[in-house]
Structure 1
Amino acid sequence: MATTASDKISTLKSAVAGLNQISENEKNGFINLVSRYLSGEAQHVEWSKIQTPTDEVVVPYDSLAPLPDDSSEVKNLLDKLVVLKLNGGLGTTMGCTGPKSVIEVRDGLTFLDLIVIQIENLNNKYGSNVPLLLMNSFNTHDDTQKIVEKYTNSNVEIHTFNQSQYPRLVVDDFLPLPSKGQTGKDGWYPPGHGDVFPSLLNSGKLDALLSKGKEYVFVANSDNLGAIVDLKILNHLIQNKNEYCMEVTPKTLADVKGGTLISYEGRVQLLEIAQVPDEHVNEFKSIEKFKIFNTNNLWVNLKAVKRLVETDALKMEIIPNPKEVDGVKVLQLETAAGAAIRFFDKAIGSNVPRSRFLPVKATSDLLLVQSDLYTLQDGFVARNSARANPENPSIELGPEFKKVSNFLSRFKSIPSIIELDNLKVAGDIWFGAGVTLKGKVSIVAKPGAKLEIPDGAVIANKEINGPEDL
C-alpha cells in the first residue's frame, strides 16, 4: 500500500525528534516546510493574470523622494537602520575553503573589510550607530567568529547569528540523512536565504534591534559589491510606510534567469523561472516583456517581520534542490527572501542603477573588479568614468583560472581593460605586468603548450594561439 503524505510526516516527525544537534525551533520549521512541500501547495502562476507593474509599484530610482539636507535628519534616518549581509556561503566555486566573504577583492581588502569600511564611514560622518549583522550558516560560523575579532576597534557594532540547520532528506523514504548514520556536515544544509526572517526572530536579534528603536533592515548578499546603504531608498520607505522594498535593475542578456517582479491579483510578487510554465520560459527570458530582475538587495520593516513570522504567514514558494551525498539521492527544500515580498503591506520595488548590482560569483568577476575598470573609494567600488561603454566587458576564463589561487598566480598584474569588449582565455596562459587588452581579444593556447603574454603588451582585436601571434 502506498504511504500517504501524512504517514510520511508522522514517520519523519519521530525521526527528527531524535536529532539532538538542532533546536526545537529548527525541528518545527523543518517539519513545517516538508509538510507544505508534500501537500503540493506549489504556487502555479496563471500566465494570463500576470501584469507589468506600474511605476507606483516599481518606483523609478529618480522619482524617489529627495533626501533631507539637514545632517541631523540623516542621522535620524540612519539610527533606524540595520545592515544585514547574507554570509552563509563558502567560496567553494572559486576554490576557497572558508566563507566567501573573506576572499580578497581589491587592494588586499576582503568583501567583509569593504562592508565594515563603508558602514564605519557612514557612522563617522553622521555620528550614527548603524550595526552590521552577519547571517552565517553552520558552514561559515566558526571561521566568521574568528575573522570578526579583527574589527573590535572599528566604529561598527558587529553581530552574528546562524541561520537554521536542516537535515537533508533521503529521496527514497523521506527520512533525514543524519538519522541514518550520516553524522558529519554532509547530512545537513542551510535552507536558503528565505530563512533570514525566522532566524532573526529565533536568534533573539530581532527583539534586541526593535528594543533599540531600529525599524528597517537592509539585506544583501555579502558578495554584491554594489549593495551599499542608500539613504534615498530608506527615506522613501519611512515616508511612505512601505514594509518591503526589492531593488530591481534593468535586465541584460546575462541576467535572463533572474527573478522578476510582476503584479498579480492586486499584489506585487516575485516570479522565478522555476514557476514559469514550460511553454512560457522563452518569454520569461526575453528582455522585452520582463525588463527588470531582482538584485537581492532588500529593505524590510522589522516590526512587519516580527508580525509575519509569529503568525507563520511567510509561506514562500519552496525551491526543491536535489543533491547526491555518497551515492545517496537527497533533497534540500529551500526558500528565497525575495519571494516574501507578497506578504508585506505596501510592498514595492525600486528600479535602481545597475551600479548597485556588482556580484562576484567567479574569477571572471574578480578580474573586472580588480582591474582599472573600477576605482576604490571609502570602501565602495565605483565604475571608472574613463570607460565609454555602459556595459561591462564579457569575460570567459578557462578552467586553469577557476580557482582564486590559480587566477592570481597567472597574472603578474591585472591587465588594463577600460577599452575591452570581449575576452576569452583558455589553456596554459600566463600574463606579464602592465598588459593592456582592447576590443575583442581571444587568447587560446594549443593543448600542452604554455603561452606567456610579455610585460607591457598591448593586444587589440586579436586572436592569439601561439607566441607567433604576439
Structure 2
Amino acid sequence: MFVSNSDNLGATLDLSILTHFSVSDVPFMMECCERTENDKKGGHLCVRNLDQQLVLRESAMCSKDDEAEFQNVSKHKYFNTNNLWIRLDKLKEIVEKSGGFIPLPMIKNSKTVDPKDDESQKVVQLETAMGAAIECFSGASAIVVPRTRFAPVKKCNDLLLLRSDAYIITDDFCAQLNPECNGVAPVIALDSKKYKLVSALDKAIPNGVPSLFKCARLTVTGEVIFQSNTKFVGNVSIVNEAAEAKVVPAGTLKNKDLNITHPQGCIVC
C-alpha cells in the first residue's frame, strides 16, 4: 500500500519505487529527501540508540534547548516526505497485536481556536504523525528520493513558490522543480502575520506571480502588492512598515534589500 499527504503534489505512484519495495521485502519503507533550509523545522529521520530502530523525530517532540541541533541540516540530513510504502499483512499483525490500533507517540501543539485571530482562545491540539509508524515495524527501511517526489503546499510560502515559474508542469501533469533551479528550491519567507490565509496571498498577486526561478531567497515583511513583470534574482528582502499594503516596483530585483514603506522606496545594496 502506498500512502501520502494529499497536499504533496509530488507524491505520485512510482513503479520503480514499488518494484524496489517489493524486491527488498521490508515491512515498511519511508521516502526521504535531503534537508535544506526550507525543511529545517520539519521532522527528521534518526536511529534509536537502544535498538538501532529507525524513528521519526518531530519538532514538537524536541525541547527548546535542543532546537538548534534539531534544525541542523548538516547533522540531521534526511526528512520524511510522508510518502510511505506498507505491507498490509505486516500492518494487520501490528494492529491485531496492539488491540486494534498502531501505538504512535503523541504530539502536542499549541493552537488558537480561530486560526485567523492570534488573540482567540488558546488550545492544545493532540495529534500523531503517520510517518512515526516506522518505529513500529521491525526491519523498516528508508530510501532517499529526488526532490521531485516532495512538493507540499502547507503555507502561503509554499503556494507562492508552486504558482511561480520555479515549478513546471510535466506532460503527465506532475509538478516538478524547474531545472533552472538546479535542484534547490528558492526559500520563501512571507510575513507570517500577514500571509496566513490564501485570500491574503491572492491580494498580493492580483496581476500574477513574480518570477522566482532565479531567486535564492525572498523575504517579505509587512503587506505588499506585486506588479506584473516582476523578477527576483538571488537574495531579495522587501520591507513595508506601513499599516496599508504598498506596491513593489516592477522590474528585476537582484540581491537587494528594498524598503517600500515610503512612496519613493529605498534600495540598499
Partner of 1:270: 56
| Residues 1:277 and 1:332: Cα distance change in structure 2 (over 3 Å) | closer
| Residues 1:395 and 1:279: Cα distance change in structure 2 (over 3 Å) | closer
In the alignment, structure 1 residue 315 sits paired with structure 2 residue 119: no
Residue 204 of structure 2 aligns with an amino acid whose one-letter code is: R
Residue 247 of structure 2 aligns with an amino acid whose one-letter code is: E
Q: How do residues 30-179 of structure 1 correspond to structure 2 at under 5 angstroms?
A: none
| Residues 1:219 and 1:422: Cα distance change in structure 2 (over 3 Å) | same
| Residues 1:322 and 1:282: Cα distance change in structure 2 (over 3 Å) | closer
Q: Distance in 1 between matches of 2:164 and 2:187?
A: 14
Partner of 1:370: 163
Residue 136 of structure 2 aligns with an amino acid whose one-letter code is: F
Partner of 1:436: 231
Task: Kindly tell me the number of residue pairs found equivalent between the two proteins.
Answer: 252
Equivalent residue for 1:387, pick from 175, 181, 184: 181
| 1:128-151 Cα deviation digits (max 9, x unpaired) | xxxxxxxxxxxxxxxxxxxxxxxx
**Secondary structure of 1:350's partner?**
strand
In the alignment, structure 1 residue 260 sits paired with structure 2 residue 45: yes
Residue 460 of structure 1 aligns with an amino acid whose one-letter code is: K
Q: Distance in 2 between matches of 1:267 and 1:342?
A: 6
Q: Is the 8 A contact 2:60 2:109 kept in 1?
A: no
Q: Distance in 1 between matches of 2:47 and 2:94?
A: 22
**Secondary structure of 1:234's partner?**
helix
In the alignment, structure 1 residue 468 sits paired with structure 2 residue 264: yes
In the alignment, structure 1 residue 410 sits paired with structure 2 residue 199: no
| Residues 1:283 and 1:386: Cα distance change in structure 2 (over 3 Å) | closer
| Residues 1:255 and 1:239: Cα distance change in structure 2 (over 3 Å) | same
| Residues 1:237 and 1:263: Cα distance change in structure 2 (over 3 Å) | farther
Partner of 1:229: 13
Residue 261 of structure 1 aligns with an amino acid whose one-letter code is: C
Partner of 1:107: none
Q: Is the 8 A contact 2:166 2:186 kept in 1?
A: no
1:391 deviates by 2.4
1:413 deviates by 0.9
Identity over aligned residues, as a percent?
Answer: 37
Partner of 2:3: 219
Residue 440 of structure 1 aligns with an amino acid whose one-letter code is: N
**Secondary structure of 2:29's partner?**
strand
Q: Distance in 1 between matches of 2:108 and 2:4?
A: 22
Residue 6 of structure 2 aligns with an amino acid whose one-letter code is: S
Q: Is the 8 A contact 2:177 2:185 kept in 1?
A: no
Residue 421 of structure 1 aligns with an amino acid whose one-letter code is: A
Unaligned runs of 5+ in 2: 115-119
Residue 202 of structure 2 aligns with an amino acid whose one-letter code is: L
| 1:61-96 Cα deviation digits (max 9, x unpaired) | xxxxxxxxxxxxxxxxxxxxxxxxxxxxxxxxxxxx
| Residues 1:291 and 1:447: Cα distance change in structure 2 (over 3 Å) | same
1:382 deviates by 1.1
| Residues 1:247 and 1:467: Cα distance change in structure 2 (over 3 Å) | same
Q: Distance in 1 between matches of 2:84 and 2:209?
A: 33
Q: Is the 8 A contact 1:261 1:294 kept in 2?
A: no
Unaligned runs of 5+ in 1: 1-216
Partner of 2:141: 348
Bigger share in helix: 1
| Residues 1:289 and 1:436: Cα distance change in structure 2 (over 3 Å) | closer
Partner of 1:241: 25
Q: Is the 8 A contact 1:246 1:294 kept in 2?
A: yes
Partner of 2:85: 299
**Secondary structure of 2:54's partner?**
strand
Residue 425 of structure 1 aligns with an amino acid whose one-letter code is: V
1:288 deviates by 3.4
Equivalent residue for 1:425, pick from 217, 220, 224: 220
Q: Is the 8 A contact 1:261 1:293 kept in 2?
A: no
Partner of 1:64: none
**Secondary structure of 2:9's partner?**
coil
Bigger share in strand: 2
Q: Distance in 1 between matches of 2:85 and 2:214?
A: 36
Supply the RMSD in Å over aligned alpha carbons. Answer: 2.9
Q: Distance in 1 between matches of 2:110 and 2:263?
A: 46
Q: Distance in 1 between matches of 2:57 and 2:243?
A: 46
